[in-house]
Chain A
């Protein structure tokens, strides 16, 4: 168990910088998720922590050791790979015991640890098999088991669930979360799936183009996205975002006027990006008119896409069975649910109540 600290970590490939000035302190036992679109440098950062990738600048500390220049084997970390990376020529038992054998642990200790991990992950029946004879979910559990037996300071997981089908993914997500609660070891988990990030993380690190965009607890990031990118990346369905300007006490987007409410006084004519989440609109009040174009029934909720003053948007409301194309709903955006961003920089315009 240990805290992890990244200070001004940089990764360059020749002239190309793929991770810029990455700073993060991960508390002991914390579950941190690196989230971002493909190619944003999540894996690279994780692999720098693992020691599989050279660090071009900055330092990495695990516990109270500077591990920046240590080999992976000397960092006391465990890693779970997207494609599981089990040793195909070894049995499941040997896959899990491999690291312990390298560490020259006594035989009984190895047996004990493997048995414990196998029990925890429900792998007892499979210990004699080869990886080829397992299903994807089972292989993923073996990969977790292999990490688990080593008692590492930190678990690093790179998109461990992305090769599984949707249903299994949900189950494994719960299993990993439960595992984390039980063993209490710090975990760093890489994904591009915002649902995984929201459901599992203590804190999310959102990245784009090698730059950290925001670090925060899932709901914090959801409630107060630091910039337009985070706003659109977190939450499903995506936030409705429009470019416009301040006009009196309203945000003006073409013909549409959205009341700013108690938002801080902004100078008339300032260019802004406004956003609101589909699930936050209140239907049946207010002056905005939404014309339904497409209705998607999700069960408890109904998702409609359509237009307001000719602008495309989505709204999500309580289940309504009667809606059809062409219907018009009036709606309002409640106080505090409107997000304002500087149009040129994209960063959040802070609100008075912050």
Chain B
């Protein structure tokens, strides 16, 4: 075999090993969510011999899971929308205009991002209690924004900075207003960056446990990670339902990644090289 083929083969092998290593637990989770209770903790075959949707039915009919799922959708959805709007505006302003102390703004944001969430969460919680927003979805969205906004601004800042300003000027000479140039030229060119930020914000918000467990105390306002965790804590541990619940948490992520991975990877690349 020529040398390069050997190299490629080895590389593929290593890649495969990594994929198996990280994907197997996910696979096991999915499989376990459809195994009947008798064999759940004993069967070791890769493909279950008997399928059951019992856990899903229990989960959706007998627990607060649907409510928690809806809460998660609301929180993650709002977080994404608000992050996108604010991050685009701030990042564009910082990238294009001579803003006094713009470096400081960006650095401060990154610094905020590097703060351990727990340290941010507790004072935030106290604050929200004070203004009467304790234990609300709004407070959770606001908490998530402390993570997603710095990340979004920082990422889009790098993205916008690398779009040649002349393209906008060309559009303005061609007959656009400043806003028109932004909408018709800058935004279409930023799609990979925008999608990357949206996916990251969604991910952070959807999977967040730390903030949710601190901010939310009542059952009706729980998001799924917290809801699911409280199931583990209760007296009889129902692995089947937990696995089904986890599978449902992961499902939207899988869907998002499948459809957007192309842009996502493009966006990551652009941000990484130039940002």
Contacts and interface: CB of A to CB of B under 8 A. Distances in A.
B176 A73 contact: yes
Contacts of A89: 188-189
Contact of A73 (B166, B177, B188, B189): B177
A115 interface: no
Contact of B174 (A51, A82, A83, A102): A102
Interface string B220-233: 00000000000000
B25 interface: no
A99 interface: yes
B170 interface: yes
A87 interface: yes
A102 B170 CA distance: 13
Interface residues of B, number: 16
A72 B164 contact: no
A284 interface: no
A229 interface: no
A111 interface: no
Binding site of B, secondary structure by majority: helix, strand, loop or mixed?
helix
B164 A102 contact: no
Given A71-B177, A89-B188, A89-B189, A79 B169 contact: yes
Contacts of A72: 169, 172-173
Contacts of B170: 79, 81, 85-87, 146
B127 interface: no
B176 A87 contact: no
Interface string B98-114: 00000000000000000
A187 B151 CA distance: 46
A81 B174 CA distance: 13
B190 to A, nearest CB: 10
A51 B170 CA distance: 12
Interface in B162-215: 164, 166-167, 169-177, 180, 185, 188-189
Contacts of B185: 87
A79 B170 CA distance: 7
A103 B171 CA distance: 12
A252 B146 CA distance: 76
A71 B180 CA distance: 13
Interface string A96-107: 001100110000
B193 to A, nearest CB: 13
B175 A102 contact: yes
Binding site of A, secondary structure by majority: helix, strand, loop or mixed?
loop
A288 to B, nearest CB: 51
Interface string A219-251: 000000000000000000000000000000000
A87 B171 contact: yes
Contact of A83 (B164, B171, B176, B188): B164
Contacts of B180: 102
A52 interface: yes
Contacts of B169: 50, 52, 72, 79, 81, 85
A60 to B, nearest CB: 15
A88 interface: yes
Nearest to B165: A85
A4 interface: no
Contacts of A85: 164, 166-167, 169-170
A52 B171 contact: no
A71 B174 CA distance: 11
A343 interface: no
Contact of B166 (A78, A81, A98, A146): A81
Interface string A34-67: 0000000000000000111000000000000000
B172 A52 contact: yes
A83 B164 CA distance: 9
A73 B164 contact: no
B167 to A, nearest CB: 5
Contacts of A73: 172-177
Contacts of B189: 88-89
Nearest to A147: B173
Nearest to A104: B175
Contacts of A83: 164, 166
Interface string A119-139: 000000000000000000000
Contact of B167 (A50, A51, A82, A87): A87
Interface in B78-105: none
A298 to B, nearest CB: 37
Nearest to B191: A89
A221 B171 CA distance: 36
A98 B173 contact: no
Nearest to B189: A89
Given A87-B185, A88-B189, A89-B189, A102 B176 contact: yes
A78 B174 CA distance: 7
A86 B189 CA distance: 12
13 contacts: A50-B169, A72-B169, A73-B172, A73-B174, A79-B170, A79-B173, A83-B164, A85-B169, A87-B170, A87-B171, A102-B174, A146-B170, A146-B174
Q: Which 4 A-B pairs have the closest CB atoms?
A: A102-B175, A99-B174, A85-B166, A85-B170
